[in-house]
């Protein structure tokens, strides 16, 4: 007695295969539509990933990608052996920590303040104003910072001078660099950052407030016992996401604020990749630096996603 | 009955209103200053330093800008990049999002996985630069249009949006003999216009503000978008050690404050004009984006 299932199985897969083929022919237009996008992802996303192999080669432009010789971990050894590596790590780390410490709480506070407003019209008006800088380019933001803080006719320095003070080299001194980077982010993104918290706050059941009022809770107690717990999970998930992008300290902004005098504290992984790779043409070495950053970034993203799930959130993946 | 407004509560409200007004002012005053300064005379700027309303209204800065070919050319480049780039973005994104939204299509999940992976890991700056270089796109507008043609993030959101549309509509269209491209054009896209408008705007703002990719891919200063030129103009006269000034022509005269301000205004004005009309869409789009795709 043979196994009937075993006999049926090949026939079934054949039927499935034929059905699938027929479905694919019927859906041919879908595949044609998909084609440009797929090509895009392959050419501009996956070919560069393959190009990461450059980090293990000695790229010679005249030899080309394939014929350049393999050098193993040479570039990585050079990078990790360079004291510069620690400087980059430190700069990136401090800027990221500043961001979390000083910028991260601001949108939450602002959203809570907006949420306490009684006049909806006033709330809308304030929102309109504080969202604006988000849509400005970093070039514009940094340019405005220059106009305000330069020693050559900059507003702030003129004010200091007119009060008898000495002009301060805000933009050229390493001591001010981190303050400026964090301050600019605070100014540009605080308003926009409120959106997600305001949405979370809009979802709070108003009956909770009614009940708290009847129990005699003042506004501070309502804030503490109802409002904050309501947005707690949003805060946690955003913080974790931020940790996942820890190494991504606004590249364009830093690039624009960097100059030869503040490079000591301002150089981060991305800007270093640009300088060594594009300006000095050391393609292989800077690819290795970039690869290091990508891999650490990937680990951070997965780590933070794991954390998010531990906190009972849905996670991002 | 509980008292609605206690004394402390009212005090809190007053403070809240005032502090928020101060925050809003801190946000917009730098812009107002720049706009005002761009209409002021150089003399007034030097004498008063800070003005929010120029008393000697002057169009000199703008006259100067509109008479220089460099600035007008850059502005033209930026407008072209924004229009062409957004068109490419939205066309390619829709074309790809629609098949991925169809549950009856095979290979859907592997393709989506492939796309999501690019959000987590990338080849990075140098390998991407070399690909663009190998394709012969350096110093062409293609290098500003194609490498960012689809945002994986927006693609996933738009796909989810398409997926929510009632499938009955598509089925009845199919019975009426419509092809897949026909369904996309006549049913899916018209029904998704608000979402597509929002994402077109996000894409457009990105193109208008594009800076770094032009630094990376465009050496030819006649092809610079306005943001690159803005940086050169504002930071050039801040002392020789700043920025690389070598790329500017040697006979370039450092402009005065008013001109710098006017360039900032010109490079932001289109965004400021569309902004009030689209504010609610922007906010909606940001939320769509922050909720998991």
Please give the full DSSP string across A60-129, using - where no structure is assigned: -TTTHHHHSEE-TTHHHHHHHHSHHHHHHHHHHHHHHHHIIIIITHHHHHHHHHHHH-S-HHHHHHHHHH
Q: Give the single-character DSSP code of A204.
A: S
Q: Which residue of A has its CA nearest to B203?
A: A135
What pLDDT shows up at residue B171? 84
Question: Does B27 contact A40 at a Cβ distance shorter than 8 Å?
Answer: no
The per-residue pLDDT for range B85-141, each reduced to its tens digit, is 999 999 999 999 999 999 888 899 999 999 999 998 999 999 999 999 999 999 999
CA B65 to chain centre: 23
Of A116-125, A301-310, B80-89, B182-191, the range with the lowest mean pLDDT is A301-310
Best B10, B126, B174, B268 residue to mutate vs chain A (most A CBs within 10 Å): B126
Q: Which residue of A has its CA nearest to B237?
A: A152
Residue A20: CB atoms within 10 A of its CB come to: 11
- Averaged pLDDT, A83-109: 95
CA distances from A34 to B91, B94, B101, B105, B106 (A): 11, 10, 11, 11, 12
Nearest Cβ partner for A137 among B31, B211, B241: B211
What pLDDT shows up at residue A189? 95
Q: In 3-state terms, chain A is what percent helix, strand and coil (to 5)?
A: 80, 0, 20
Average confidence score pLDDT of chain A? 88
Q: By the 8 A CB rule, do A40 and B151 touch? A: no
Q: By the 8 A CB rule, do B68 and A6 touch? A: no
Residue A41: pLDDT over 50: yes
Of A29-43, A121-135, A151-165, the range with the lowest mean pLDDT is A151-165
Q: By the 8 A CB rule, do A220 and A254 touch? A: no
Contacts of A293 in chain B (CB under 8 A): 124
A260 pLDDT band, cuts 50/70/90, is confident
What pLDDT shows up at residue A206? 84
Which contiguous run of DSSP H or E holds residue A57?
Answer: strand A57-58
Residue A40: pLDDT over 70: yes
Q: Give the single-character DSSP code of A163.
A: T
Question: Does B212 contact A251 at a Cβ distance shorter than 8 Å?
Answer: yes
What pLDDT shows up at residue A317? 55
Residue corresponding to tokens 């007004």: B21
Q: By the 8 A CB rule, do A248 and A257 touch? A: no
Write down the ipTM of this complex: 0.88
Of A157-166, B36-45, B260-269, the range with the lowest mean pLDDT is B36-45
Reference B126, options A80, A247, A81, A53; nearest CA is A53
**pTM, rounded to two decimals:** 0.88
Residue B253: pLDDT over 90: no
- Averaged pLDDT, B7-21: 91
CA distance linking residue B254 with residue B241, whole number of Å: 15
- Averaged pLDDT, A190-215: 88
CA distance linking residue A130 with residue A115, whole number of Å: 15
A70 φ, ψ (degrees, to nearest 5): -80, 135
Tell which wins on pLDDT, B255 or A12.
A12
Contacts of B209 in chain A (CB under 8 A): 135-140
Q: Which residue of B has its CA nearest to A153?
A: B46
């Amino acid at each position: 007695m043979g196994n009937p299932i075993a006999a049926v199985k090949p026939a079934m897969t054949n039927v499935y295969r034929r059905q699938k083929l027929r479905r694919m022919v019927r859906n041919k237009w879908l595949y044609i539509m998909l084609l440009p996008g797929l090509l895009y992802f392959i050419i501009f996303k996956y070919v560069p990933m393959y190009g990461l192999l450059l980090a293990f080669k000695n790229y010679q432009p005249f030899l080309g990608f394939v014929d350049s010789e393999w050098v193993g971990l040479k570039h990585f050894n050079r990078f990790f052996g360079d004291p510069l590596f620690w400087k980059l790590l430190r700069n990136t780390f401090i800027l990221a920590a500043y961001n979390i410490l000083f910028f991260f709480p601001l949108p939450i506070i602002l959203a809570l303040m907006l949420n306490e407003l009684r006049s909806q019209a006033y709330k809308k008006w304030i929102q309109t104003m504080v969202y604006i800088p988000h849509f400005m380019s970093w070039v514009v933001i940094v340019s405005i910072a220059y106009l305000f803080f330069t020693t050559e006719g900059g507003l702030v320095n003129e004010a200091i001078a007119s009060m008898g003070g000495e002009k301060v080299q805000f933009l050229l001194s390493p001591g001010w660099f981190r303050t400026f980077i964090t301050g600019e982010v605070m100014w540009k993104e605080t308003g926009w950052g409120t959106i997600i918290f305001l949405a979370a706050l809009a979802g709070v059941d108003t009956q909770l407030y009614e009940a708290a009022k009847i129990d005699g809770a003042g506004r501070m107690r309502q804030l503490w016992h109802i409002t904050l717990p309501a947005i707690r999970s949003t805060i946690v998930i955003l913080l974790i996401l931020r940790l996942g992008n820890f190494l991504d300290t606004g590249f364009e902004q830093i690039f624009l604020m960097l100059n030869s005098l503040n490079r000591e504290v301002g150089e981060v992984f991305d800007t270093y990749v640009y300088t060594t790779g594009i300006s000095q043409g050391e393609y292989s070495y800077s690819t290795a630096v970039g690869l290091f950053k990508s891999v650490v970034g990937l680990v951070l993203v997965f780590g933070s996603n794991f954390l998010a799930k531990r906190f009972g959130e849905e996670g991002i993946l | 009955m509980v008292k609605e407004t206690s004394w402390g509560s009212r005090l809190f409200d007053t403070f809240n209103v005032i502090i928020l007004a101060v925050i809003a002012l801190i946000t917009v005053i730098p812009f107002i200053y720049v706009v005002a300064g761009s209409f002021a005379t150089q003399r007034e700027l030097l004498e008063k330093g800070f003005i929010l309303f120029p008393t000697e209204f002057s169009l000199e800065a703008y006259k100067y800008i509109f008479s220089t070919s460099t600035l007008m050319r850059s502005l033209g480049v930026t407008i072209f990049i924004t229009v062409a780039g957004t068109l490419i973005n939205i066309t390619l994104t829709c074309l790809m999002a629609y098949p991925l939204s169809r549950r009856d299509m095979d290979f859907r999940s592997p393709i989506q996985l492939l796309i999501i992976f690019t959000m987590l890991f990338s080849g990075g700056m140098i390998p991407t630069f070399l690909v663009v270089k190998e394709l012969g796109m350096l110093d062409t507008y293609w290098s500003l249009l194609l490498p960012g043609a689809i945002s994986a993030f927006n693609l996933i959101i738009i796909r989810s949006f398409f997926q929510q549309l009632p499938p009955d509509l598509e089925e009845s269209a199919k019975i009426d003999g419509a092809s897949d491209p026909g369904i996309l054009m006549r049913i899916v896209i018209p029904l998704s216009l608000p979402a597509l408008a929002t994402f077109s705007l996000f894409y457009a703002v990105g193109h208008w503000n594009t800076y770094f990719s032009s630094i990376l891919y465009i050496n030819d200063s006649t092809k610079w978008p306005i943001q690159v030129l803005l940086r050169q103009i504002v930071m050039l006269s801040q002392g020789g050690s700043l920025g690389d000034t070598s790329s500017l022509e040697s006979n370039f005269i450092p402009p005065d404050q008013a001109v710098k301000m006017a360039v900032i205004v010109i490079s932001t004005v289109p965004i400021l004009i569309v902004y009030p009309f689209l504010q609610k869409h922007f906010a909606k789009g940001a939320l769509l984006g922050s909720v998991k795709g």
